Structure 1
Amino acid sequence: MSELIQAVIDSNEKADLRTFASDLRHQEKRYLLKNDILTAFAEYCHNHQKPENFFSSSNLGKLIYYTQEIIREDSNLCLIIRPKIASEEIYRLTEDLTVEQMPIQELLDVRDRFVNHFHPNEGDILELDFQPFYDYTPTIRDPKNIGKGVQYLNRYLSSKLFQDPKQWLEALFSFLRIHRYNGTQLMINERIQSPQQLSDQIKKAITFVSDRPSEEPFDRLRFVLQLMGFEPGWGNTAGRIHETLELLDQLSDSPDHQSLEAFLSRIPMVFRIVLVSPHGWFGQEGVLGRPDTGGQVVYVLDQARNLEKQLQEDLALAGLDVLNAEPKVIILSRLIANSDGTKCNQRLEKVHGTQNAWILRVPFREFNPKLTQNWITRFEIWPYLETYAIDSERELLAEFQGKPDLIVGNYSDGNLVAFLLSRRLKVTQCNIAHALEKSKYLFSNLYWQESDHNYHFSLHFTADLIAMNAANFIVSSTYQEIVGTPESVGQYESYKSFTMPDLYHVVHGIELFSPKFNVVPPGVNESVYFPYTRYEERIESDRDRIEKLLFTQEDPEHIFGTLDDPSKRPLFSMARLDRIKNLTGLAECFGMNAQLQERCNLILVAGKLRAEETTDHEERDQIEKLYQIIDQYNLHGKIRWLGVRLPKSDSGEIYRVIADRQGVFVQPALFEAFGLTILEAMITGLPTLATQFGGPLEIIQDKFNGFYINPTHLEETAERILEFVSKCDMNPNYWYEISTRAIDRVYSTYTWKIHTTKLLSLARIYGFWNFTSKEDREDLVRYLESLFYLLYKPRAKELMEEHLSR
């Protein structure tokens, strides 16, 4: 039995448990989530006049705190307890306080019966269980180390080296022999025929290069090193070559994880990278604020630029200038024939500011031109992805003149395409979720049948399961994206077990303790987003133009609202108009607080102004709701709503112009997987208040360099904003203190240099792991293919038939 339950039953609080359970049985709600449970318990404490500390310090209070869900079925209560991160215990509590532990399969049956979709006499339901495929791979033990997969893997590999040096030296030797660039041998040539000979030649080469000037270039040493058996790839100078050889020599004699990571990170094995992002309007101009675009496009473009830059640096340090080695990065996206004035109808477009990074757009096959020539929402593109992957493979092979070395999927659709491509090309696959929709839509798996017509979660979540288990490694922006916090379940954790009634049960959907998970937060484009105090880098004409746009310009086509007093402190937010981004919630919060309206103006940059201009039903609903809120609270003269699409340079200056007026950035999302706009605001020097649900918890240090808000509590959010504004009015230095700390936070932790160095290191280490472990993933991949062909494809075909009928 759970220690938490046992402690209650063994104490004089047993009667309280009985009474509280009885109260729950008489509630109208049969399915209680954590907030519901805490609210019910607070009412119980109040109604029974419990001491103040009973709520949090009693044994029953502790049990309630760790209870994630309660499902009432007849007179029994099903308790899902989460005593620690990434851990779950399930119990049935009867009326007489009998406690029975329940297996996960039984819990899934209870959930099915709750939504009246499952009847035991109708037969069993398909169970998906990935646990057996992780039984033979290394797993992390301590939850604190989840997301540090590469560190764990390095320790594991180096310990293997130590335990069986002969076997692992053989593996290192074989691994060094496989590297080539455009057919040219790298690292070692045929003159070195065995691990022992490699060890001997390393020592000779160390002696040779140690006698040369440290800065002597590789091309002067190349001939002698070649005779010893060493090809380009060890370094660009005698000093760099010496360091690399010493690392390998040290690995041979006394391996440790730092040396292994340092050595593998120097091997030139990544030259060509594909970043897959099919669904959105993927362009460099005129796309900000469109449905399915925004943050992900910014992320991928910045990542592409910085990956190319880091690869150029790495290849130069490896000494591959002698081969004129040039890296290439391709962003694989979708060609949209009716591109609405953007460049999304161009097959190939160079990424601005790069030498060899490109957007390659491949069209969906024209099953129905009325649909496939236009933008298709991310919720509806599933029928086209298999043929898209086949067509993209051909295009990529032509563009690269060979296979890529790494495929990085973005979002659920991109990750599925990455799986299909990597399976066919036998290439390392990396997944980046950005956001997992399952966490954003409450009960989306339980009630999938009711919402499948609009959201197609049956396809979406199946694609997620396939891609996340297929990936060689997964990059998340935050730790809690994987396993949440002590109070909340992580995005990936939500896939550990769940039911989709009448479709399947997921008994074990993902191994959270797998070393495939790595936290690698993105950076900010520092040429666009930089502190407002760098006046010498700002263009005065741009600043004046943006200031008029934000505060005074009249343009009924693109701007709603005229400010009565433009000099008030601006509260600013910028996001697309959908339910999760919750800009309407911020407007309502502002409208409910008269003091806030007296001191501030609300400035919103948010997509379109008119419902009839969008085909996205969520955006349309939010546009209509925002107008209703403005009228309901009479916000005319106090709000500006800009329905504009901005070039990136302008979006950077917008933050700075708001900072010039000592404004505040508010990010009110109901859930935010990471929060790129938060980094953009902070690096420009804008004090930021952001949602406490999701990634901002790890970006902001509350009350030090920013503030958390609970966007579901509008009055409390308004008070929090007002409190900050009031402190700034009383002490003008307070705004500058928070501003300066915000800038420092981003530069110390969230730069693209840190991100790309880590990502490329991961690609090399996981490439080495896949090669040396001889891990046979074929059984897992065959299982995933079965799910793809037997579950995913039939449902995708149904959606295709619906599309063809439109």
Structure 2
Amino acid sequence: MSNSPGLYILLVSVHGLIRSNNLELGRDADTGGQTRYVLELAQALAANPQVERVDLVTRLVNDPKVSSDYAQPLELVSDKARIIRLNCGPRRYLRKEVLWPHLDNFADELLKHLRQIGKLPHVIHTHYADAGYVGCRVAGWLGIPLVHTGHSLGRVKQQRLLEQGTKPETIENNFHISTRIEAEETTLASAALIIASTHQEVTQQYGIYDHYQPQRMVVIPPGVALEHFYPVPKNWQEPPIYEQLKRFLIDPQKPIIMALSRAAMRKNVSTLVKAYGEDPQLRHLANLVLVLGNRDDITTMESGPRQVLTEIFQLIDRYDLYGYVAYPKHHSADEVPELYRLIAKTRGVFINPALTEPFGLTLIEATACGVPIIATSDGGPRDILAACNNGMLIDPLDIKQIQDALRTALTNTEQWQSWSNNGLNSVKENFSWDSHVEKYLEHVLQLPQRRVQSLLSPLPKAPATDLPDWKIPSTNRLPTADRFLVCEIDNTLLGDQEALQKLIEQLRNKGNNIGMGIATGRNLQSSLQMLEEWRFPMPDLLIVSAGSEIYYGPQIVTDTNWLRHISYHWQAEAVRKAMEELPGVVAQPPEVQGKFKLSYFVDEAKPISFKEIMRHLRRHRLHVKGIYSHNMYLDLLPIRASKGDAIRYCALKWGLPIKRFLVAGASGNDESMLAGNTLGVVVSNYSQEIEKLRGYPQIYFAQGQYAWGILEALDRYDFFGTLSYTESEMMAV
């Protein structure tokens, strides 16, 4: 890697299959334009002299059904760019909709990776909602600016599926759409910069979100790799894939109408086949080539692509299009530019008939090869055609309009040549990666750089006793502990005197390598009173007020850096006023309120839910995290605060891997610290809202109540020993 000074940019794209060569585009719904976008962005950024290093972080997949390339933890892309693959849930390849329960794990793995390399990025740039969820957490913990690109948006998808008649419960079951939308709302609230591809995306798509803030959004169209996508050269030879196409066609020399996309309903390829099949003149003028990803046996494909391909094959049979339509089973990413040049050579046309198109990367690829385009009048194609003037927009549901546009492109020779020339002359100025990176860096360099300074040194390789001097009293075990027990006070640590005494004895007998902490919704004074009342020793770490305050014992030293960190976008008074507008919500007594925690009672009998409360606050442009527990208690915190966030902040600050924290809880306000790579235990007297965590591989539901459950977990995880049980369990997941 280069040692020159410059920006270190971390790109995060969790799902799909990403590698530096031979991208498997169109393999499924998760291997489309986004995977190419993030790879080419990484390459283009690394080529800029202002950038020292680019890491593209994605999920490690160790699955015999996919290439072993995706199981490699590190892949060099160039001398300044790398692909980093981190564990995230099961080893097998998973579609993005089922990755949500594993994203906390991915966030912890990313923190571990950054700590190991001993270098923090200047900016974290996330792609899609799942990476946005991860980025909000990691960038928030580190105080690093977050940049986000949505690629597609959940609220838009939900709207269009509802318009098509899909039932809400079907949408939720298939796409986990509410989880996705909530992640997008949080990302919009947290990101310092949102990069959109089109103006329509900013106004009409992001505009329907509660946290829509156009002043933090910028339109930077994606680039095209001009070294791969270029016009037909003089010495051009027919590509090998042409031989595959000839197998389908009676007259392969005719001009080509080509559509290239995933086999997805949204791509609307069946309407194109109908338009072609119902027009004898079009069949006479040109062949139709459909490049719809890769397949071996459609009966083994997922239901969506299988349904689309089955319908297309039925239409080909209905209109008797054999000899006129080619639909190859396989193609590689390297063959795509040659396919575009084949269209240009035959003086054909590229068409994108999608129902919706956030951008349309294939359109600028075809344009760069000198091919006129016909595209849906939605989203990106509008901006592309406005900039390049190299084709026509169509209503994707109007068959006659599609037919007329195709005939114009195929029969008007002067118009075809004009469109081809216009596109070639405009694409370099408007859609090159060089121009994209120039605008990108201009905005990124203006972002505030806020860091947790103590994280800048590498992870110490010496024993724990050689950790740097953090100016904590010697009786505090944070500098020397190599594992930590952190417990909620109420209904977890305290409640059974006999069990508590046994726990205290075990902790006293295990030496200075065991740290003890509490994480509670109580304020500091109340927490100390309860601990004193039960004769529990002073903890080394006190996370109080639901994670909005951190103290180190025994002198109760405030972590002021944490307070500065979570103050981001916190408007306590505005939150209070907004909450006064809601029925059935009453502020708790003043003594339980905090500077960074507002607490309320919620009356279940009133017609307002937790989700409705949070949406009400978002509509007021308030950046708030809500924690709801016991079906009646609501804590409102800054967007960066929670028990889980506080624990991870401390883990980073003190150089202790998060998987060496055993956390114990019993209610919904403990969820943030139980999820992820911490070792978790839920004591048996837990509140019902935490039942949803059952089945998570790193969360143990104990048989015993209160501290009895904690004692169980100490044995189960071999917490005082080698933690060997935990390590083996993690490897098996």
| TM-score, structure 1 normalization | 0.55
State the partner residue of 1:208: none
AA aligned to 1:510 is H
- Rounded Cα–Cα distance in structure 2 between residues aligned with 1:683 and 1:482: 26
Q: Which is further off, 379-388 or 788-797?
A: 788-797
1:510 aligns with 2:219: no
Q: CA deviation at 1:461?
A: 0.8
State the partner residue of 2:240: 545
Q: CA deviation at 1:448?
A: 3.3
1:415 aligns with 2:101: no
Distance 1:768 1:460, change over 3 A: closer
Q: Pick from 720, 743, 760: which aligns with 2:424?
A: 743
State the partner residue of 2:188: 468
AA aligned to 1:458 is S
Q: Pick from 265, 268, 272: which aligns with 2:8?
A: 272
Q: CA deviation at 1:494?
A: 2.3
State the partner residue of 2:99: 381
Aligned residues of 2:198 and 2:359 also touching (Cα < 8 A): yes
- Rounded Cα–Cα distance in structure 2 between residues aligned with 1:302 and 1:429: 20
Distance 1:337 1:747, change over 3 A: same
Q: Pick from 449, 465, 469: which aligns with 2:169?
A: 449
Distance 1:395 1:770, change over 3 A: closer
State the partner residue of 1:662: 347
1:304 aligns with 2:42: yes
Q: If each structure's helix is expressed as a fraction of its own residues, which one has the higher value?
A: 1
Aligned residues of 2:137 and 2:640 also touching (Cα < 8 A): no
State the partner residue of 1:727: 412
Q: Pick from 579, 597, 600: which aligns with 2:283?
A: 597
Distance 1:703 1:680, change over 3 A: closer
1:638 aligns with 2:333: no
- Rounded Cα–Cα distance in structure 1 between residues aligned with 2:83 and 2:271: 36
Aligned residues of 1:701 and 1:707 also touching (Cα < 8 A): no
The secondary structure found in structure 1 opposite 2:211 is: coil
Q: Pick from 710, 725, 737: which aligns with 2:395?
A: 710
State the partner residue of 1:98: none
1:348 aligns with 2:74: yes
- Rounded Cα–Cα distance in structure 2 between residues aligned with 1:800 and 1:691: 46
Q: Pick from 317, 324, 336: which aligns with 2:61?
A: 336
Aligned residues of 1:413 and 1:463 also touching (Cα < 8 A): yes
State the partner residue of 1:190: none
AA aligned to 1:388 is F
Taking the TM superposition and a 5 Å limit, the aligned residue runs for 1:45-194 are none
- Rounded Cα–Cα distance in structure 2 between residues aligned with 1:768 and 1:417: 19
The secondary structure found in structure 1 opposite 2:445 is: helix
Percentage of matched positions with identical amino acids: 27
Taking the TM superposition and a 5 Å limit, the aligned residue runs for 1:750-765 are 750-765=431-446
The secondary structure found in structure 1 opposite 2:96 is: coil
Q: Structure 2: which 5+ runs fail to align?
A: 453-563, 572-622, 627-638, 645-667, 676-687, 699-733
Distance 1:474 1:795, change over 3 A: farther
Distance 1:796 1:275, change over 3 A: farther
Distance 1:722 1:773, change over 3 A: farther
Q: CA deviation at 1:439?
A: 1.6
Aligned residues: 479
Aligned residues of 1:362 and 1:388 also touching (Cα < 8 A): yes
AA aligned to 2:425 is D
| TM-score, structure 2 normalization | 0.61
- Rounded Cα–Cα distance in structure 2 between residues aligned with 1:286 and 1:309: 20
Q: CA deviation at 1:585?
A: 2.3
1:521 aligns with 2:221: yes
Distance 1:799 1:676, change over 3 A: farther
Q: CA deviation at 1:393?
A: 1.6
AA aligned to 1:427 is I
- Rounded Cα–Cα distance in structure 2 between residues aligned with 1:801 and 1:516: 39
The secondary structure found in structure 2 opposite 1:642 is: coil
Q: Pick from 24, 35, 38: which aligns with 1:287?
A: 24
State the partner residue of 1:572: 258
State the partner residue of 2:269: 583
List per-residue Cα deviations over 1:535-574 (Å, max 9, x = no partner).
36x5x4xx3423323x32x4xxxxxxx2111122110111
Q: CA deviation at 1:686?
A: 0.4
List per-residue Cα deviations over 1:257-288 (Å, max 9, x = no partner).
xxxxxxxxxxx7x5211111111111232511
Distance 1:741 1:342, change over 3 A: farther
AA aligned to 1:275 is L
- Rounded Cα–Cα distance in structure 1 between residues aligned with 2:138 and 2:252: 53
State the partner residue of 2:482: none
1:535 aligns with 2:242: no
List per-residue Cα deviations over 1:446-489 (Å, max 9, x = no partner).
95333211111111111111112111110001111111xxxxxx
The secondary structure found in structure 1 opposite 2:97 is: coil
- Rounded Cα–Cα distance in structure 1 between residues aligned with 2:344 and 2:693: 47
The secondary structure found in structure 2 opposite 1:701 is: helix
State the partner residue of 1:626: 312
Distance 1:640 1:799, change over 3 A: farther
Report the RMSD for the aligned CA atoms in angstroms.
3.3
Distance 1:701 1:727, change over 3 A: same
State the partner residue of 2:83: 359
State the partner residue of 2:205: 491
Q: CA deviation at 1:381?
A: 1.1
Aligned residues of 2:374 and 2:393 also touching (Cα < 8 A): yes
Aligned residues of 1:611 and 1:620 also touching (Cα < 8 A): no
Q: CA deviation at 1:689?
A: 0.4
Aligned residues of 1:287 and 1:342 also touching (Cα < 8 A): no
Distance 1:634 1:347, change over 3 A: same
Taking the TM superposition and a 5 Å limit, the aligned residue runs for 1:771-786 are 776-778=568-570, 780=623, 782=625, 784=639
- Rounded Cα–Cα distance in structure 1 between residues aligned with 2:116 and 2:331: 34
- Rounded Cα–Cα distance in structure 2 between residues aligned with 1:579 and 1:330: 34
Q: Structure 1: which 5+ runs fail to align?
A: 1-180, 183-232, 234-267, 316-326, 366-371, 484-489, 496-508, 555-561
The secondary structure found in structure 2 opposite 1:776 is: coil
Aligned residues of 1:546 and 1:657 also touching (Cα < 8 A): no
- Rounded Cα–Cα distance in structure 1 between residues aligned with 2:7 and 2:439: 16
The secondary structure found in structure 2 opposite 1:344 is: helix
Q: CA deviation at 1:373?
A: 2.4
AA aligned to 1:304 is A
Distance 1:577 1:329, change over 3 A: same
Higher normalized contact order (CA 8 Å, seq sep 6+, divided by chain length): 1
Runs of 4+ off more than 6 Å: 768-775, 786-797
- Rounded Cα–Cα distance in structure 1 between residues aligned with 2:428 and 2:353: 24
- Rounded Cα–Cα distance in structure 1 between residues aligned with 2:695 and 2:307: 27
- Rounded Cα–Cα distance in structure 1 between residues aligned with 2:693 and 2:288: 42
1:424 aligns with 2:125: no
AA aligned to 1:511 is Y
Distance 1:691 1:314, change over 3 A: same
Q: CA deviation at 1:775?
A: 8.0
Distance 1:276 1:680, change over 3 A: same
The secondary structure found in structure 2 opposite 1:762 is: helix
- Rounded Cα–Cα distance in structure 1 between residues aligned with 2:201 and 2:366: 21
Q: CA deviation at 1:735?
A: 1.7
Q: CA deviation at 1:724?
A: 2.4
AA aligned to 1:713 is D
- Rounded Cα–Cα distance in structure 2 between residues aligned with 1:740 and 1:279: 38
State the partner residue of 2:370: 685
- Rounded Cα–Cα distance in structure 2 between residues aligned with 1:398 and 1:654: 44
Distance 1:704 1:329, change over 3 A: closer
Aligned residues of 2:206 and 2:212 also touching (Cα < 8 A): no
Q: CA deviation at 1:444?
A: 5.0
- Rounded Cα–Cα distance in structure 2 between residues aligned with 1:449 and 1:803: 27
Aligned residues of 2:9 and 2:124 also touching (Cα < 8 A): yes
The secondary structure found in structure 1 opposite 2:327 is: strand
Q: CA deviation at 1:615?
A: 4.4
